[in-house]
Amino acid sequence: MRNTFGNAVSLTLFGESHGAYIGAVLDGLSAGVPVSEEEIARQLTRRRPSSLLDTARAESDRFEIVSGVFNGKTTGTPICILIPNENTRSADYDYGRARPSHADFAAYKKYHGFEDYRGGGHFSGRVTAALVAMGGILLPALKTLGITLGTHISLCQGHKDASFQDAEKDLAFLQEATFPVLDQEVGEKMKQKILAARAEGDSVGGATESLIHGLPAGLGEPWFDSLEGLLSHALFSIGGIKGISFGAGFDFAAMKGSEANDAWRMKDGKPFTETNNNGGINGGISNGMDIVFSCAVKPTPSIAKEQETVNFITNEETTLAIKGRHDPAIIRRICPVIDSVTALVLCDVLTGRYGSDVFTKGLSLCVTD
Amino acid sequence: MRNTFGNAVSLTLFGESHGAYIGAVLDGLSAGVPVSEEEIARQLTRRRPSSLLDTARAESDRFEIVSGVFNGKTTGTPICILIPNENTRSADYDYGRARPSHADFAAYKKYHGFEDYRGGGHFSGRVTAALVAMGGILLPALKTLGITLGTHISLCQGHKDASFQDAEKDLAFLQEATFPVLDQEVGEKMKQKILAARAEGDSVGGATESLIHGLPAGLGEPWFDSLEGLLSHALFSIGGIKGISFGAGFDFAAMKGSEANDAWRMKDGKPFTETNNNGGINGGISNGMDIVFSCAVKPTPSIAKEQETVNFITNEETTLAIKGRHDPAIIRRICPVIDSVTALVLCDVLTGRYGSDVFTKGLSLCVTD
Amino acid sequence: MRNTFGNAVSLTLFGESHGAYIGAVLDGLSAGVPVSEEEIARQLTRRRPSSLLDTARAESDRFEIVSGVFNGKTTGTPICILIPNENTRSADYDYGRARPSHADFAAYKKYHGFEDYRGGGHFSGRVTAALVAMGGILLPALKTLGITLGTHISLCQGHKDASFQDAEKDLAFLQEATFPVLDQEVGEKMKQKILAARAEGDSVGGATESLIHGLPAGLGEPWFDSLEGLLSHALFSIGGIKGISFGAGFDFAAMKGSEANDAWRMKDGKPFTETNNNGGINGGISNGMDIVFSCAVKPTPSIAKEQETVNFITNEETTLAIKGRHDPAIIRRICPVIDSVTALVLCDVLTGRYGSDVFTKGLSLCVTD
Amino acid sequence: MRNTFGNAVSLTLFGESHGAYIGAVLDGLSAGVPVSEEEIARQLTRRRPSSLLDTARAESDRFEIVSGVFNGKTTGTPICILIPNENTRSADYDYGRARPSHADFAAYKKYHGFEDYRGGGHFSGRVTAALVAMGGILLPALKTLGITLGTHISLCQGHKDASFQDAEKDLAFLQEATFPVLDQEVGEKMKQKILAARAEGDSVGGATESLIHGLPAGLGEPWFDSLEGLLSHALFSIGGIKGISFGAGFDFAAMKGSEANDAWRMKDGKPFTETNNNGGINGGISNGMDIVFSCAVKPTPSIAKEQETVNFITNEETTLAIKGRHDPAIIRRICPVIDSVTALVLCDVLTGRYGSDVFTKGLSLCVTD
């Protein structure tokens, strides 16, 4: 499916960093879902470069809803959103010198030199603006079903953020945070590391933690379309994500079954688990607990420091100091992208499970015992 | 797609732990690929319980190729393999008491009590035998293209195996290893931990590392169908895998761009990178270096120790000591499953990229500059 | 997708005419749907050769449900049905002489000679037995929602059957008919033509008409996944079908809009149309009227008469008189196959629209205004 | 998949008749395919209303290529084309009175009144402009492989056009024809019928015949993804098409096997058939002969004559005389739409069979014996 993801609800991406527009088409969302330009703008603002922590490329992120919305609500037919590219400086890029850890060489082997290489072309993080704009429709749609989600920077250069404590409060907070951490002191230390890297012409990586609250039990499939499989499939297309884990993740390697297993108990007449090492998913299927997952984010490959590389057209070794305007870290701006992609997967799974009217029917009519 | 994975080459799984057969249908593989029952048996042997390190459930893993193979070669039409279930003891299972960290409760919420719960039913690790049998066709097919792969236990209870050094030699070794580690001393220590857990009625988790050698550059898609996305989608359906990372993975969180970036250099007239922190994938696309990824494996949830749980039919708290016959660790037996699933993804991607005759044409006719 | 059809509910076919088994895997049907071996056997009986009107190949159509059914009901996981091939005579076939209007030459160009050519291999009408067996699950499932369907021979060698008059009565009748026509006198004339063709070593074609009763309005998609598109996609894979039309079909060519349009009127407080030239579908979507479509069926290509052909291995012209055991007409036996394929499409569309529990919830809970 | 069609090459449609833009996203076409704005404009011109035979709605069909094309060639990433809607008169439409044989009522049952009903919304034939614009890329791409195709009006109000005689000459002629018939005298008679219908406030239906020349043998699948299945799936989404047949189609009903079978003979060292009753497809797979198919096209439902109908909001019977600006026949303008949709299916099948570089490699490197 390449640039399209999803079955019952699907999203198709198009556009290049330096083309006229980037955009996305969202198909399959229930008819009758309210669409607010403010919500879309709000998500785009979360992703927008806003300080020295981010790239200097100014993006106004004006957008236009081209189809699929009528009288402020989804029609049930494809929604296309366009975002014009404004602040492009193609002269910053040349062709043939592979930027290390970027897709330049891999793209050349795939597209044989026909790729639009300017600004990373279709590989550019710029394309995620279209994902985030759609998140401005999908996240509020989920909220009408009582499903909320959010992402914080959990780790950066040795600084570890607090974990989620109170899902509803933390998620509400993260939606508004300009630097999404749960412990502000830790956040300040992370910022210092990012600014220090910027000053050195370098960049830093990190990790994020996401939480989904309010998802009904019974979603996902035992084989292949497990919740973990669907989420990871979609999330790994976000540039820079190189690892995904659910619940205790790689910490399981040191655990015993008697420590790792989440014992079931009863509360308010319903089963729950006190620990959540499985991150809310058993056998690929949601078990009613919060879904918790982490993403490993590599340092922005574009750095000002001189690097060794090759020119893959001339097959000569050379060096490179990337000019352009780049983020010293993407872990801040990646959070709303993760949220939007997660929302896409959930809307897809919910629609597949409960049918194409799920968002206007509401879960109480859909979920049966 | 649920129980089917893949586009150009797809695999459909069916069967339950205590049904008559489990099996799989493989579709889209080139016509003319040699199929050897010995190779299939060999892969099944790698997965079979073989000592006190594994479950006591004896599985002969007899199999029958039902369709799609004629005169020892694939016909190009669907290949169905059946594996009869022989050694089943349904009396070991009852219904309603949720086994912690198993899918019992999630399955109940999804299937409303109609699921075949005996032995975990369709969720059972037993179903992976069908995946591994197909691996016995897919892995040799890849080998004819010069693509080899393998998996070792990289981490278990604090013991860390050596990393891959010499891809070809290590991969050849792992295909034959009964306990797949690269450093045998470390392996012995892991075994002691597994046997100790068994003695306690407990289980242990771990992590694996996989390597793909010989894959051409230029495979995968920038959005959604990235190599990382496709591999993780398929791999997360293996029960027990709770995390996947590529290259440096979660170690990126502590790195700077100048450390993380893989500098390009020339060797034998071709670009290569001396480090491989990106695990052979840039922008979702293979870059010609070895693909390297790790999987986090949780401890087997079935343990003999008494655990707290609930009966989700009566909604009462209760306890549970799992009898049955179970693996004190699945990290040994999961390695051939990871290999087979990885092979499926690669065959799918190669066929999508180079067309449906790729395995009989060979890569030299397919890959153009 | 090749040998798999369907999104929310999908069916995968495997097997060859002279292999050990043919079979199918059905995935995505609601958990809790009753499965009756009698119903499956009944559908297989409708398709079975039963007189001189059909092939002399005796097929007992024993079948085995391998997975996905537990305590007489679907589990919600994949259902595999196996049908052993018993009465095979491979000696009747040789390779290289293209049987005219069969797939022999096309298959050779596709599979390069690796195809299992015995008895038509995977192209054989034999494979439809697996479709019909699944129809024995799907048709009763639809009936529980109040949706019934059926097919009669509408045209054969100039003899035209009566049209549907009373949907419910006609459909009940066709389920039991050994020669599915609505006017028995016309049916006798058709039979005479078939027997005459048989006596001459020849065969005859025909056309069928199908009706779906009780389908809710609002199913299907405006673009690509129109009801017409989905039904035709699936139906054209039945060997011998070379045309499909909905409602007035090719008769529209001679009509004016004022004649063709189906005027809306009110009955019992609900809109309906007195004419049904659109065959119950407007803009690709069901409009609440009966769905009506016709299939053109070509004469069985296998005839005893000598025919001119080529040997595509030696590239020489030659002749051929097909021995084997073949149907002088397939229009009788094709009717249950059309019913089963139609049922598959409807179950897929209903599940996509109303969610994966639609068959146990019932339509009254699913369809909202 | 709803508004997306295709696997290896896929097309996603969006937009409504009276929205800001309609458009399409094309994904999966080889990198390096030349894109000519003149070719796109030329296809749009074929579809544009041009005389009293068509609607009076003036459409300039300006278009913008938004992505996926760089330096005049495809990049291999998604191509988005936008077409602004200019000449819209929303006041011509009201809501609730079902236009007979239009999708109004069916859409209401599907989208619950949230649909954009203005000008037919997403159901409008206007959306086909985006398909035809993409045809301006796909048809020339096929031509570089030696594959040409075209469509003529074969039947209208009792007037029957000549059949294809000389494929290459006829196809070249049809690409330029303003009224696509092979016999100009018959064409004049058809035009008279169309103008007469217009004068009466009525409309007429018809049938088309399409031919594909130069397609290699061996394309298509035995089950489900037969060439007939794929073509019909895509073609039935064109509004007004209500029947599709291949080769002799419904004429098979009167034929015997000995008449219907296409005998194989040798010419220039290659097998061919003198008759082509199978329309170039056996067992779902191309056999190397020209592909021939026909489409039944219903009369334009929008007519000025007063019609009986209901208001589905008030549930009252009423009448309707459609004002707006409408085509007295769509069989002329449907021909380039059929060509574009056919081109999409062929590009998809060729790319699936020969890989994603097929259009730059050329068939001689791809097709092997």
ipTM score of complex: 0.97
CA distance D154 to C12: 38
Mean pLDDT (whole number) for B229-237: 98
Mean pLDDT (whole number) for A212-228: 97
Mutation target for A interface from D1, D70, D88, D127: give the one with most A CBs within 10 A: D70
Whole-model pTM: value is 0.97
pLDDT at A4 over 70: yes
pLDDT at C92 over 60: no
CA distance C340 to C149: 10
Q: Residue A5: name the closest of A336, A335, A339, A236 by CA.
A: A236
Please give the distance of CA A146 from its chain centroid, rounded to a whole number. Answer: 20
Query: Of the given ranges (A166-175, A201-210, B295-304, D115-124), which has the lowest mean pLDDT?
Result: D115-124
pLDDT at B168 over 70: yes
Tell me, what's the pLDDT at D91? 62
Inter-chain residue contact D103 with C4, CB threshold 8 Å: no
Using the Cβ of A62 and the Cβ atoms of chain D, whether some distance falls under 8 Å is answered with no
Contacting residues of A for B123, CB less than 8 Å apart: 222, 283
Tell me, what's the pLDDT at B336? 98
- Total residues belonging to chain C: 369
Mean pLDDT (whole number) for A51-76: 89
Distance from CA of D330 to the nearest CA of A (A): 24
Task: Nearest by CB to C282, from D106, D235, D309: name it.
Answer: D106
Using the Cβ of C67 and the Cβ atoms of chain A, whether some distance falls under 8 Å is answered with no
CA distance C230 to C1: 14
Per-residue pLDDT band at A335 (split at 50, 70, 90): very high
CA distance A51 to A35: 29
CA distance D207 to C30: 41
SS3 D54: coil
pLDDT at D93 over 80: no
pLDDT at C208 over 80: yes
Inter-chain residue contact C303 with D112, CB threshold 8 Å: no
CA distance A72 to A31: 11
Give the other-Cβ count within 10 Å of B358's Cβ.
26
Q: Tell me the per-residue pLDDT of A150-167, one tens digit each, with 9 for 90 and over.
A: 999 999 999 999 999 999
CA distance B353 to C248: 43
Over chain D, what is the mean pLDDT?
95
pLDDT at B193 over 90: yes
Using the Cβ of D124 and the Cβ atoms of chain A, whether some distance falls under 8 Å is answered with no
Neighbours of chain B (3+ CB pairs under 8 A): A, C, D
pLDDT at C91 over 80: no
Per-residue pLDDT band at C90 (split at 50, 70, 90): low
Per-residue pLDDT band at C55 (split at 50, 70, 90): confident
> Do residues B5 and B229 make contact, with C-beta atoms less than 8 angstroms apart?
no
The CA-based diameter of chain D, rounded to the nearest angstrom, is 70
Mean pLDDT (whole number) for C317-334: 90
Q: Tell me the per-residue pLDDT of B141-165, one tens digit each, with 9 for 90 and over.
A: 999 999 999 999 999 999 999 999 9
Contacting residues of C for A355, CB less than 8 Å apart: 352-355, 358, 366
CA distance D278 to A369: 52
Q: Tell me the per-residue pLDDT of B63-111, one tens digit each, with 9 for 90 and over.
A: 999 999 999 999 999 999 999 998 666 665 679 999 999 999 999 999 9
Using the Cβ of C358 and the Cβ atoms of chain A, whether some distance falls under 8 Å is answered with yes
Distance from CA of A364 to the nearest CA of C (A): 12
CA distance D225 to D246: 15
Using the Cβ of D219 and the Cβ atoms of chain C, whether some distance falls under 8 Å is answered with yes
Tell me, what's the pLDDT at C220? 97
Q: Tell me the per-residue pLDDT of D209-230, one tens digit each, with 9 for 90 and over.
A: 999 999 999 999 999 999 999 9
Per-residue pLDDT band at A60 (split at 50, 70, 90): confident
Q: Tell me the per-residue pLDDT of C143-161, one tens digit each, with 9 for 90 and over.
A: 999 999 999 999 999 999 9
Structure tokens at A221: 């499939």
Percent of chain D with pLDDT over 90: 89
CA distance B286 to B291: 8
pLDDT at A263 over 90: yes
Using the Cβ of D116 and the Cβ atoms of chain C, whether some distance falls under 8 Å is answered with no
Over chain A, what is the mean pLDDT?
95
Per-residue pLDDT band at A91 (split at 50, 70, 90): low
E-strand stretches of chain B: 4-5, 10-15, 21-27, 64-67, 69-70, 73-74, 79-84, 148-156, 159-160, 206-213, 241-246, 264-267, 270-273, 281-282, 285-286, 291-297, 306-311, 316-321
- Total residues belonging to chain D: 369
> Could you tell me how many CB contacts below 8 A there are between chain B and chain D?
28
Tell me, what's the pLDDT at A45? 94
Mean pLDDT (whole number) for D107-132: 94
Contacting residues of D for A109, CB less than 8 Å apart: none
Inter-chain residue contact D75 with A16, CB threshold 8 Å: yes
- Cα D339 to Cα B270, B355, C99, D51, D170: the distances in Å are 44, 25, 32, 21, 14
Mean pLDDT (whole number) for A122-129: 93
- DSSP per-residue codes, D1-38: -TTEE-SSSEEEEEE-TTSSEEEEEEE---TT-B--HH
Pairing of strands B159-160, B148-156: antiparallel
Neighbours of chain C (3+ CB pairs under 8 A): A, B, D
Q: Tell me the per-residue pLDDT of D303-326, one tens digit each, with 9 for 90 and over.
A: 999 999 999 999 999 999 987 778
CA distance D141 to B127: 45
Using the Cβ of A113 and the Cβ atoms of chain B, whether some distance falls under 8 Å is answered with no
CA distance B298 to A326: 38
CA distance C186 to C177: 14
Using the Cβ of D311 and the Cβ atoms of chain C, whether some distance falls under 8 Å is answered with no
User: Who's near B119: CB < 8 A, 6+ residues apart?
Assistant: B16, B17, B18, B88, B90, B92, B93, B126, B324
Q: Residue A233: name the closest of B229, B241, B348, B231 by CA.
A: B229
- DSSP per-residue codes, A286-336: E-SSPEEEEEEEPPPS--SSEEEEEETTTTEEEEEE--S---S--TTTHHH
Contacting residues of D for A357, CB less than 8 Å apart: 112
Over chain C, what is the mean pLDDT?
95
Task: Nearest by CB to C203, from D4, D109, D257: name it.
Answer: D257
CA distance D6 to D9: 5
Name residues 232-251 of chain B within 8 A of A (Cβ): 232-237, 239, 241-251
**Beta bridge partners of residue C107, listed in sequence order:** none
**Which amino acid is residue B177, in one-letter code?**
A
Using the Cβ of B113 and the Cβ atoms of chain D, whether some distance falls under 8 Å is answered with no
Residue with the bigger pLDDT between C55 and B266: it is: B266
Task: Nearest by CB to C368, from A352, A353, A361: name it.
Answer: A361
Tell me, what's the pLDDT at C89? 65
CA distance D106 to C90: 52
Contacting residues of D for B358, CB less than 8 Å apart: 355
Using the Cβ of A359 and the Cβ atoms of chain C, whether some distance falls under 8 Å is answered with no
Tell me, what's the pLDDT at A150? 98
CA distance D338 to D294: 10
Distance from CA of B352 to the nearest CA of D (A): 6
Contacting residues of B for D366, CB less than 8 Å apart: 355
SS3 B195: helix
Tell me, what's the pLDDT at C132? 98
Inter-chain residue contact B8 with D352, CB threshold 8 Å: yes
Tell me, what's the pLDDT at D59? 76
Structure tokens at B8: 């150009």
Mean pLDDT (whole number) for C312-328: 89
